[in-house]
């Protein structure tokens, strides 16, 4: 089995964090090291379940594999921690009956699904505008349906602060074309909803960079 160093992992997955965590998951899972680990550990976890079945068996197997993850793939765990400033962790989607479909992915432990991770490059409104544009650029392609906007949610972080950024593209009620809106999801605060992107950028900057952390 070819082992990857921490720098190998960072080079492999780093460029994709700000575009697609699905791609990050694929880049992690498709390596020889992870494929071997998933195969071997899935067999051992399944064999160790004995007479246990159902959801309890899946949970026990999952916990066994997660306990082994850091010991067997420490370079991957360290790379993800560094690339995400400690916000992301490696997690496992285990399919005991279809182990070939099991995968590793990066989780951000939020009550919403994070699709991409963006670091604020510096504390400035232009940098916040750039981070916001990165999330908006990741919106699904294709025209949205009436009352069903295209949407995507990213996590934007700077040092010890992070804010969820949900971008939506709406079909106009009257006339051709679409328009975009932004919802900011600061931890421990009410969402700031239905913002114009131009309005959202300075608010994102203040949430991540002001002394109070308020909008």
Domain boundaries, the chain: 6-107, 116-209
Q: Tens digit of pLDDT for each residue in 4-41?
A: 999 999 999 999 999 999 999 999 999 999 999 998 88
Question: Is it the case that residue 95 has pLDDT exceeding 90?
Answer: no
Tell me the three state secondary structure of residue 88.
coil
Q: Which two tokens stand for residue 54?
A: 């159902």
Say whether pLDDT at 110 is over 90. yes
Cα–Cα distances in angstroms (integers) from residue 109 to residues 64, 88, 102, 113, 184, in the given order: 20, 8, 19, 9, 17
Among 165, 145, 146, smallest CA distance to 157 is for: 165
Per-residue exposure over 13-30, b if at least 16 CB sit within 10 Å of its own CB, e if not: bbebbbbebeebbbbbbe
pLDDT category, 147, cuts 50, 70, 90? confident
């Amino acid at each position: 089995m070819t082992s990857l160093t921490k720098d190998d992992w960072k080079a492999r997955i780093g460029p994709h964090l700000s575009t697609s965590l699905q791609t990050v998951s694929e880049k992690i899972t498709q390596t020889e090291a992870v494929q071997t680990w998933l195969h071997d550990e899935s067999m051992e976890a399944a064999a160790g379940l004995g007479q246990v079945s159902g959801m309890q068996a899946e949970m026990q197997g999952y916990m066994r594999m997660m306990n082994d993850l850091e010991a067997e793939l420490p370079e991957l765990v360290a790379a993800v921690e560094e690339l995400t400033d400690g916000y992301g962790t490696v997690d496992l989607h285990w399919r005991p009956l279809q182990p070939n479909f099991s995968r590793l992915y990066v989780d951000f432990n939020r009550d919403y699904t994070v699709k991409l991770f963006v670091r604020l490059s510096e504390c400035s409104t232009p940098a916040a505008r750039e981070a916001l544009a990165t999330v908006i650029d990741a919106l699904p392609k294709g025209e949205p349906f009436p009352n069903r906007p295209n949407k995507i949610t990213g996590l934007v972080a700077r040092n010890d602060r992070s804010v969820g950024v949900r971008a939506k593209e709406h079909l106009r009620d009257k006339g051709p074309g679409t328009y975009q809106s932004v919802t900011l999801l600061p931890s421990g605060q009410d969402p700031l909803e239905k913002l114009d992107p131009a309005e959202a950028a300075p608010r994102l900057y203040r949430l991540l960079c002001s002394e109070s952390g308020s909008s």
